[in-house]
Amino acid sequence: MSVKEEINKRRTFAIISHPDAGKTTLTEKFLLYGGAINLAGSVKGKATARHAVSDWMEIEKERGISVTSSVMQFNYGGYCINILDTPGHQDFSEDTYRTLMAADSAVMVIDAAKGVEPQTRKLFKVCGMRGIPIFTFINKLDRDANDTFELLDEIEKELGIATCPINWPIGCGKMFKGVYDRQKKAVVTYSDTEKGTKEGETKHIPIDDAKAVEEAIGKERMDILNDEIDLLDGASDSYDLEAIRAGKLTPVFFGSALTNFGVEIFLKYFLEMTTTPLARRSKGELIDPVDNAFSAFVFKIQANMNKAHRDRIAFMRICSGKYESNMEVKHVQGGKVMRLSRPQQIMADERKILDEAYAGDIIGVFDPGIFSIGDTLCMQGDDILYEGIPTFAPEHFARVRQIDTMKRKQFVKGITQIAQEGAIQIFQEYNTGLEEIIVGVVGVLQFDVLKYRLENEYNVEIKLDPLPYEHIRWIVSAETELDKIVGTSDMKKIKDLKDRPLLLFINEWSVGMTLDRNKGLVLSEFGTE
Ligand code: G4P
């Protein structure tokens, strides 16, 4: 197969959801269809002995949750699929956001009884920032669900994206019979499936065959469905692949990941509609994945994934061309040529050494401490520099200090290294003369991870005193001087490691007040690395 064919069959996406909406269950079903696993339940064990795919750190094992993300690759229907696993726990970190930077599209799982939830909103915002296609899977139709039209309305209003249902549920709860395929104009019914297997009988019945439809779903359901189809045809946005690919319209699917209703039909349509690996911007120019030789960018760095190895792994997304074993590449930021030896694909507790990989794929490379998040790798003669990954606004802050004052050196080293990996952000007081470090995280779980890692890897005990701030803003107006900013009484001035000034606020109201009081001040929720 040519490099072009290899790249064009790749589909790289992330599945996002609020915890418990069914992201893991849906991922498992995809893996089952791809033959990558044999039994559902092997992706994540919740607080049980079952092994988790990304169960790297002890803390994850202790709590039965997954903190880090990994990648799953499998083949299905002629496609080579890379699913980027984003942590599903309610506390997530910047890794979750960064993972979205490496994806070409996102599947958004929504619980039909809960609708749009806080984390769906947050993740959605990041997808929106990149304009990647978003596919909506409304899950758990085998339980009582909210009104279908209201769910669509909620997505449109809360997330500000137009919706286009590709299939439509036939009943819900115990009366959930299957879905109506609007493109093929067919009723798709399912027989009950054993939990955890993909077997079960699927029937496709043309809607025009009223007799067969009535037999399958009953007269009452059929009448309701026909009314709903008419309503939908008149009211919903029409199918527009260009708008979908631009992230302006989300195709909506309904189903039940648990019972497999509507899952395979979703996967098939999704793979047809989503994009091949997207071109990325370098110095204002788009780098075509097929027409260029190997290039990649680092989106995540993870240390000590395996205690026995004490290694640090840089995860990179290949943006163009082909990687071949032992290839020599240029690390652009470091200005050095290096050999990419033994890159790995990391799935479950296994690490597979790769001989080749293509644009769209994710590889993990041993990092002797030279990579930073956002770094570019390319061939020696090429001049590529991918645009940086934004720093996402932490929402929780704490003052941190080491308990044993003699261990200041280890403490600073440890916390700086962990910050370089991007797990936390560290800040300093501005003009107070205090040496204390302020740490900011996207999800509070990262505080525990920090404490745990400092103790276990650097032998430093720390104390964290939570601070009340929830909003951070980078100052982007060039001429603004931090000293001159007149803020509200609850505003705090700090600086980051690069000495850039920042402001902390307790609430949005203070952000608005400060903007009002300082003409010309421009604040941003995102910094750039
Ligand atoms: P997450 O990764 O988004 O956090 O969600 P996950 O798939 O772990 O699903 C959360 C719970 O919802 C699980 O139940 C799962 O079985 C259930 N679930 C997922 N999809 C469906 C569905 O389509 N219908 C129904 N009825 N339930 C669904 P649990 O009891 O927390 O865990 P488990 O013991 O079943 O694994």
Per residue in 408-456, pLDDT tens?
Answer: 899 998 898 888 777 789 999 887 666 789 999 987 878 888 898 898 8
User: What is the predicted pLDDT for the residue at 186?
Assistant: 96
What is the β-pairing status of strands 249-254 and 134-139? parallel
Per-residue pLDDT reduced to its tens digit, 448-506: 888 988 988 889 999 999 999 999 998 888 777 788 888 888 899 998 877 888 999 99
Section 255-260 average pLDDT: 92
Both 364 and 435 in one domain: the answer is no
Both 484 and 510 in one domain: the answer is yes
pLDDT at 57 over 50: no
Among 29, 258, 266, say which to mutate for ligand 1: greatest number of ligand atoms within 8 Å of CB: 258
CA of 396 to the centre of ligand 1 (A): 28
- Write out the DSSP string of 56-101: -SHHHHHHT---S--EEEEEETTEEEEEEPPP-SSS--HHHHHHHH
Nearest protein CA to atom 17 of ligand 1, as residue: 22
Give me the number of domains the chain comprises.
3
Both 319 and 231 in one domain: the answer is no
Tell me, using a 6 A CB cutoff, whether residue 142 lines ligand 1. yes
CA of 26 to the centre of ligand 1 (A): 9
CA of 319 to the centre of ligand 1 (A): 34
Tell me, using a 6 A CB cutoff, whether residue 25 lines ligand 1. yes
Tell me, using a 6 A CB cutoff, whether residue 19 lines ligand 1. yes
**Plot region of 110 (φ>0 → left; ψ -120 to 50 → alpha; else → beta):** beta
Both 165 and 288 in one domain: the answer is no
Structure tokens at 442: 């996207």
CA of 25 to the centre of ligand 1 (A): 6
Among 15, 18, 20, say which to mutate for ligand 1: greatest number of ligand atoms within 8 Å of CB: 20
Both 175 and 315 in one domain: the answer is no
Choose among 493, 478, 482: nearest CA to 438: 493
Per-residue pLDDT reduced to its tens digit, 269-305: 999 999 999 999 999 999 999 999 999 999 988 765 5
Tell me, using a 6 A CB cutoff, whether residue 140 lines ligand 1. yes
Both 117 and 233 in one domain: the answer is yes
CA of 200 to the centre of ligand 1 (A): 19
CA of 19 to the centre of ligand 1 (A): 9
User: What is the predicted pLDDT for the residue at 43?
Assistant: 47
Both 288 and 254 in one domain: the answer is no
CA of 111 to the centre of ligand 1 (A): 10
For the chain, percent of residues with pLDDT exceeding 70: 85
Per-residue pLDDT reduced to its tens digit, 390-408: 777 888 999 999 999 888 8
C-beta separation of 262 from 277 below 8 A? no
C-beta separation of 410 from 458 below 8 A? yes
Nearest protein CA to atom 29 of ligand 1, as residue: 20
119 located within any domain: yes
Neighbours of 171 (CB within 10 A): 18
Where a domain ends, among 273, 302, 334? 273
- Domain span at residue 312? 280-378
Choose among 137, 146, 88, 141: nearest CA to 115: 146
Nearest protein CA to atom 9 of ligand 1, as residue: 22
Tell me, using a 6 A CB cutoff, whether residue 117 lines ligand 1. no
User: What is the predicted pLDDT for the residue at 55?
Assistant: 38
Both 134 and 256 in one domain: the answer is yes
Both 322 and 434 in one domain: the answer is no
Both 292 and 436 in one domain: the answer is no
Nearest protein CA to atom 4 of ligand 1, as residue: 20
Tell me, using a 6 A CB cutoff, whether residue 256 lines ligand 1. yes
3 state DSSP class of 352: strand
C-beta separation of 401 from 462 below 8 A? yes
Where a domain ends, among 251, 273, 295? 273
User: What is the predicted pLDDT for the residue at 349?
Assistant: 44
Per-residue pLDDT reduced to its tens digit, 132-170: 999 999 999 999 989 999 999 999 999 999 999 999 999
pLDDT at 60 over 50: no
Both 216 and 131 in one domain: the answer is yes
Q: Give the model's confidence band at 307: pLDDT under 50 very low, under 70 low, under 90 confident, else very high.
A: low
Q: Give the model's confidence band at 87: pLDDT under 50 very low, under 70 low, under 90 confident, else very high.
A: low
178 located within any domain: yes
For residue 429, the surrounding DSSP H or E stretch is: strand 425-429
Tell me, using a 6 A CB cutoff, whether residue 88 lines ligand 1. yes
Where a domain ends, among 354, 378, 402? 378
